[in-house]
Structure 1
């Protein structure tokens, strides 16, 4: 199985991106369903619970982002070794990745437990929404290791092109989460804390399955034997030069969302926060296919870069962009056409029904950026694939912090368009930055092709 995956990565880039993207897409949509399922069940707890969890969202993005980011570092490092036909290098990279996941999970758990309350207060949480946020966040942060190894080890499998088994592990996890959510939240009476506990237990199931394949069954392309592990700072740096900036991507996104929350809270209070939180769940779900295509492009471009094949690198990027634009357009049409019905998913009680009109506006405006966002996201994943993690981070800062925060502030606060201005700023800022990102990616590829002389 592993050798077929590796040969696919070394073959025609369009075929590789398409075949690798589909299982990643399914995996990510299933992963995003954690958020959707939690939202559906938490909606029954009332507006304060919805808002409380919304205030935790930026912190959760850091938690999840670091695990995904370090997994991307593993993917980039391993795929470049695969392209260079260096099996030992790929195996050593996988072993070092596991060590990095462990250290990061311990350090971040301690930090997040200490800073969660002051952070929630700085976002505008108070009273019952603050209490709900802490109830939801504490178990989530204590179980960080489950996310770290689940997402991180998926990155190891992606690095060698084994996307299907990562998908199977996620399926197990999602089924567990769907079963456990109502049991923990309502049957056991744990409320919002039950939602986070269900997510942690489910993620742990996914991590255990993947670790079994890598460490015990040993039927992966990489051969990891922890008893023979020898630390190599060069390999660790190779992983971290993409993993750290990729993790910082989510940190910068978290900062941006923190600012959105401050803007929204000042305009619409708890009502605005609850509307944004509910709509954002669907938006994040909608960009999962684009992220999946980007992950496939990262793996294929990493292999092409390792093989010094500039033609394959260019083709992988351009095909990924076309694929993402098509998907982004289709998803936008669905979100716009069915916005009221989708909004009802998170506002089905008498208390939360008043949120439906505003969630509908959010979906119909904010989702308009998805086609162009797809082009920008694929470009950012290209940088990660070729080992330029800081370039990917720079474009995240440009998109979210510079363009989008500015647009939301100007339209929502300065011009006093209110919540509609915030939703419009989200779409406008992301669209403009994504166009520039794509243009820079093509320029980068052109320079690499000159260097590789192909």
Structure 2
């Protein structure tokens, strides 16, 4: 089948296949890749935690640096992906190719800048992220190698989201899972067998990311896979193109960038209560990322469907797919949250067996966050819908809400009044506020979609009468 024929077949598939089956087909590969990513994040935390509480806390400190790298990658990845899916829905393949290539090469350039400036000011960077004197040597060793991988780690997000935005979720899954599984294998070898300690964990991560980069790049280069061709000749230094990419990626930049700031604020708020509190919250963050990853993977199956159909003016399918995803993800998170609530102490003991204080703090925090899990389905799906349809302002506001508008003030103020419980309650309180904001923003947009759909049906009826 020729490339243009493959694109036509993909268009009809995305705009005509029944919603439940279509989203399920696209979501299964993304759920698998998200789960593998979360598992290797937890494996990284598990193996490093065997080196001691200080090393475990250092991973929590550098988590904010990795969130910053992700922020850059997601800005260009999600930004171009939302443009690509809408442009393909409008059958503008060349414009979609230019959006992808421009985002890819720009992400590498930004990753290179992070590498250079990060290594030049490594000591200052790690200290600014919240490393205490005990944690500093571990955090510095870990950060150095993570920064070396920054250029292709940022590009990975563009390649991954590009394939998903085009409806080629299986290829994206294969690339991400290959790197994730390799990371799980390399961690114990480098950390223990080669005696490299925390440096080994970082090296395993960047090598695994490099393998993922190679695989994802291969699938993005070949038209034989039905994907858009990634070419340097398609790069365009054009204000309007960058505006559209940044506009689409701004919610992701806010979400990930503010998450990095929130991670630093969390570490600093935990510091007065000891390194055990930092270690406990680091573990809880990784566990929660694992729980939510399945739902985010499901939502990533929704994003290309949403973008394609919005571009094709199938507003009824946008609304249908949104509510389908909210219901399924709420059921999924309720089940996972209930299980994790019951076994919270055992989960923490897997990482820090025998460390009663870490287990006690972590189990309490994990249970509080699990209680709010079902509500996350609504605001995450609302954020994805607004972002995919080009509603940058409300999507950005919602993306900034959870970790920024609500979490930062609470984490900075509440612990001063009630101590450690204030740290543990900060995330659940911000989740409640974010759900209320999501309801306010999404209901207005859903009403707008219904009006657009009614207008389109009216227009089609008039054309039918004319032709008749």
The reply to whether residue 321 of structure 1 matches residue 322 of structure 2 is no
The reply to whether residue 171 of structure 1 matches residue 174 of structure 2 is no
Partner of 1:365: 368
Post-superposition shift, 1:4? 5.2
Post-superposition shift, 1:236? 3.2
CA shift digits 1:159-204 (9 cap, x unpaired): 1111111111122112211121112112222211111110110011
The reply to whether residue 118 of structure 1 matches residue 121 of structure 2 is no
What SS class does the counterpart of residue 134 from structure 2 fall into?
A: helix
> Does the 8 Å CA contact 1:293/1:324 hold for their aligned counterparts?
yes
Partner of 2:219: 213
Partner of 1:200: 206
Q: Which has the larger radius of gyration?
A: 2
Distance 1:327 1:145, change over 3 A: same
- CA separation in 1, counterparts of 2:424 and 2:366? 8
Distance 1:200 1:187, change over 3 A: same
Partner of 1:236: 242
**1:157 equivalent among 148, 152, 163:** 163
Partner of 1:305: 310
Unpaired segments ≥5 residues, structure 2: 1-5, 457-468
What SS class does the counterpart of residue 274 from structure 2 fall into?
A: helix
Partner of 2:439: 438
> After the TM superposition, which residues 79-118 of structure 1 pair with which residues of structure 2 at under 5 Å, given as runs?
79-118=85-124
What SS class does the counterpart of residue 308 from structure 1 fall into?
A: coil
- CA separation in 2, counterparts of 1:71 and 1:85? 20
> Does the 8 Å CA contact 1:54/1:274 hold for their aligned counterparts?
yes
> Does the 8 Å CA contact 1:404/1:425 hold for their aligned counterparts?
yes
Post-superposition shift, 1:311? 1.4
Post-superposition shift, 1:411? 4.0
Partner of 1:382: 385
CA shift digits 1:381-431 (9 cap, x unpaired): 1121012334322112222222223334454322x1x32332222112112
What SS class does the counterpart of residue 345 from structure 1 fall into?
A: helix
Distance 1:54 1:229, change over 3 A: closer
* TM-score, normalised with respect to structure 1: 0.92
**2:416 equivalent among 413, 416, 437:** 413
Range that drifts further, 391-400 or 199-208? 391-400
What SS class does the counterpart of residue 247 from structure 1 fall into?
A: helix
- CA separation in 1, counterparts of 2:351 and 2:281? 11
> Does the 8 Å CA contact 1:21/1:292 hold for their aligned counterparts?
yes
Range that drifts further, 392-401 or 223-232? 223-232
Distance 1:124 1:105, change over 3 A: closer
Partner of 2:400: 397
Distance 1:305 1:36, change over 3 A: same
Let me know the Cα RMSD of the aligned residues. 2.1
Range that drifts further, 382-391 or 220-229? 220-229
Distance 1:5 1:364, change over 3 A: farther
Partner of 1:66: 72
Distance 1:451 1:146, change over 3 A: same
